[in-house]
Chains A and B, each alone.
Chain A
Amino acid sequence: MIVQQLLNGLVIGSVYALTAMGATLVYGILRILDLANAGAYAIGAYAGLFLYLSTGNILLSFAGAIALTGFFGFVVQRYLYIPVLDRPPIVPLIASIGLFIFIQDLLRLVAGPRIREFQASLPFGAIKTETLTINPTWILIIVLTAALLAFLWYLLAYTKIGLAWRATAQDLEIAKAMGVNINQVVAYNFLLGYAFAATAGIMVGMLYNSVFPTMGDVPAYKMLALIVLGGLGNPVGTVAAAVMIGLIETLIAGYIGFFLPRDAIAFVALIIILLIKPEGLMSRKA
């Protein structure tokens, strides 16, 4: 039972981590809170669902949705954020809220307001032992999240673009003076961030067997809280915070059977942690 609950928490935490990662990277470099990243989560879920319904191939559905949403991220940064980058931070924030609402209404218009089912058959079965059942979607979520985060870690730690990324996050002006093309760094950042969000969206759609236009709402609020909790733009901190919140809400909901819904538990936990550690779990030293 405990293992089952821990795994469940890890699954939820993985999804949170992927959802918040794109926004974490963007905040790290541009100091912009990109709420629309949660819109990419919904776009990814719909794109994945429709590709799956038309092709019946889950691999193709992931690949297509990731490519499409990543491209959307590229367009968003190029034509929405880069032009308003010189303005006070409130301007890109409002732009991102506007884009988020626009995405939700667009999805409602195109795909209808009702909840759609996402029943995908995966090419592998559940892992069953006497006490434990790990269903295929859980396996997919844990493995795919681990793979994507490992890929991101590799980029940041071992490649030139990763160095440029870290340098830009620390000092944009100096990075420029050292030959880093900021626009290119930001473009890759959005491409990857939105692709991550899309992946999370598809997986959550499959996990809860539901895809709907406002499915990005709660992840958007949690994403903001996780970015703060993770130390504002620190990818490792965001992963730690995401897994922690995933575990806390699952364990409290599963064992104590709290009178609050699990999303509320997550936010209460976030508030308590931030009261104790207002600088976040892993804040950067000045």
Chain B
Amino acid sequence: MTANSILSVRNLQKHFGGLKAIDTVSFEVNKGETLGVIGPNGAGKTTLFNTICGVYEPTAGEVLLGTQAIHGLKPHQIARLGVARTFQISHPFRDMTVLDNVIMAMGGSHYTGLKGIFSISRTHDNISKAEALLAKLHILAQRDKRAGDLSLGYMRRLEIARALALEPKLLLLDEPCAGLSHDATQEFIDIISQLKATGTTIMLVEHNMAIAMTVCDRLVVLNYGVKIAEGPPAAIKNNTLVIEAYLGRDDDIA
């Protein structure tokens, strides 16, 4: 483990019956970098996310956040320790306002103990922090809208604002550009670049190679649950194993 490693995944395995969805995968995410996890459909990218976040318990292996082991913890504990995520299919809390969506995720400590019952949600402090996050994602104007009424692009931004409200050490984005138009995708790439510039450590699952190549500092390539390559985008682009995984067999292409 390097000194500036935020997350280290060591020999991680997740099996569903006989299916090895994640098969002995190891890698590190370093502070301040954007690591992309790419691979064809069914490669195990989202399963990897879910295993890191505690949705699935690993069959074997370790996940460390800094020096603390987080495998086997519950999703809300991992979230409070500083791993925040977005989802491939956008799930804002539809009946709440955009602002409440963000405030709800703020300060996991508010929910612990008896004081959590009576701590007020819309304090001046909470509102201004939430507004700052909405401004960062350029959706401050949507603040009082019902979250379910937002467009898909805005929902994705709201999800990121909500994840950032957890003040995460690591932000996991699961295909943030899936289903977006060309223009919206371009805007999203700008947003990710802006987050990188402010020092956010990001791990990004991406199906689209071109997007991953543009925004990521380093890539991990999965195929059938196995890590087949790791390195900077330029090297990955010319890696024969990767090219085979994406283009080698017709049924691998979505």
B75/A177 in contact, CB under 8 A: yes
Minimum Cβ distance to chain A for residue B102 (Å):
10
Q: Is the CB of A161 within 8 A of B111?
A: yes
Q: A170-B93, A170-B94, A174-B93 are in contact. Are A160 and B116 (CB under 8 A)?
A: yes
| Interchain CA distance A175-B112 in the complex, whole Å | 15
- B: interface residue count bin: 35 or more
User: Which chain B residue has the least Cβ–Cβ distance from A170?
Assistant: B93
Q: Which residues of A contact B138 (CB under 8 A)?
A: none
A residues 65-81 in Cβ contact with B at 8 Å: none
Query: Which of A160, A162, A174, A284 is packed against the most chain B CB atoms within 10 Å?
Result: A160
B74 touches A (CB below 8 Å):
yes
A108 at the B interface (CB under 8 A) = no
Any A CB within 8 A of the CB of B145: no
The chain B residue sitting closest to A168, CB to CB, is: B93
Among candidates A160, A176, A177, A179, residue contacting B119 with C-beta atoms closer than 8 Å: A160
- How many residues does chain A have at the interface if contact means C-beta atoms less than 8 Å apart? 26
> B118 to A159, Cβ gap below 8 A?
yes
User: Using a CB-CB cutoff of 8 Å, which residues 169-201 of chain A contact chain B?
Assistant: 170-171, 173-182, 184, 188
Asked if B19 is an interface residue, CB under 8 A from chain A, the answer is no
Asked if B222 is at the interface (CB within 8 A of a chain A CB), the reply is no
Please determine whether A285 and B148 come into contact, CB atoms closer than 8 angstroms. yes
Chain A 138-157 residues near chain B, CB threshold 8 A: 155
> A167 near B: Cβ within 8 Å?
yes
In the complex, what's the smallest C-beta–C-beta distance from A66 to chain B, in angstroms?
16
B21 to chain A, nearest CB (A): 18
* Contact residues in B for A177 (Cβ distance below 8 Å): 53, 55, 75-76, 79, 84-85, 87
Judged by a CB distance under 8 angstroms, whether A164 is at the interface is: yes
Judge if B231 is at the interface, Cβ distance under 8 Å: no
A163 within 8 A of B: yes
CB of A116 closer than 8 Å to a CB of B: no
* CB–CB B166/A179 < 8 A: yes
A166 contacts chain B at the CB level, 8 A cutoff: yes
B121 interface residue (CB < 8 Å to A): yes
Of the residues B80, B93, B96, B148, contact of A179 by C-beta under 8 Å:
B80
CB neighbours of B110 from chain A (8 A): 160
A268 vs B36: C-alpha distance when bound (angstroms): 61
Shortest Cβ gap from B143 to chain A (Å): 15
Give the interface of A toward B (CB within 8 A).
Answer: 155, 158-164, 166-167, 170-171, 173-182, 184, 188, 284-285
What are the 4 A-B residue pairs with the smallest beta carbon separation, nearest first? A179-B108, A179-B79, A176-B75, A178-B105
Q: Which residues from chain B sit less than 8 Å from chain A, CB to CB?
A: 53, 55, 74-76, 79-80, 84-85, 87, 91, 93-96, 100, 103-105, 107-108, 110-112, 116-122, 148, 162-163, 166
Q: List 13 A-B contacts (CB under 8 A).
A: A158-B121, A161-B119, A166-B95, A170-B94, A170-B96, A171-B91, A171-B93, A173-B55, A173-B91, A174-B91, A179-B105, A181-B76, A285-B95
